[in-house]
């Protein structure tokens, strides 16, 4: 388990949270994979509809989903959107969504690499 070269997340910390229980970790990883896709699509829909309340809510949900992976850059992006939505002045265009999607994809890749080396 010496695989620690992670730039976008730190899944080893999530493994520590579950006291090294591989089964629980793999279940949480699967929940992350499944839920992150659904929540991001809800964010995209809310952004397209300029529904700031829903966008803020989905950003908060996705932040909670990626938080245990210590995906700091992604959490920072999501927190900024959430804060802007709460202030009713969020501009979440396709460029911004693409940046989030790219970061989310990198987290998924690193999580899978970590799992492959368990």
Domain encompassing residue 22: 11-116
CATH number, position 74: 1.20.120
Asked, for residue 105, whether it belongs to a domain, the answer is yes
pLDDT digits (tens, 9 = 90+) for 90-117: 999 999 999 999 999 999 999 999 999 9
pTM of the model: 0.89
Asked, for residue 23, whether it belongs to a domain, the answer is yes
pLDDT, residue 2, reads 46
Count of structural domains within the chain: 1
Helix axes 22-48, 52-66, angle to 10 degrees: 160
Cβ(62)–Cβ(40) under 8 Å? yes
How far is residue 29 CA from its own chain's centroid? 11
Q: CA-CA distance, 10 to 66, in Å (whole number)?
A: 10
pLDDT digits (tens, 9 = 90+) for 20-49: 999 999 999 999 999 999 999 999 999 999
Asked, for residue 99, whether it belongs to a domain, the answer is yes
């Amino acid at each position: 388990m010496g695989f620690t070269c992670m730039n976008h997340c730190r899944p080893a910390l999530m493994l520590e949270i579950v006291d090294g229980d591989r089964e629980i970790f793999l279940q949480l990883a699967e929940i992350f994979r499944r839920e992150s896709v659904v929540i991001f699509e809800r964010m995209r829909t809310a952004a397209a509809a300029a529904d700031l309340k829903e966008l803020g809510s989905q950003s908060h949900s996705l932040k909670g989903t990626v938080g245990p992976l210590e995906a700091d850059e992604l959490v920072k992006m999501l927190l900024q959107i959430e804060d802007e939505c709460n202030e009713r002045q969020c501009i979440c265009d396709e460029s911004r969504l693409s940046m989030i999607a790219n970061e989310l994809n990198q987290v998924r890749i690193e999580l899978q690499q970590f799992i492959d080396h368990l």
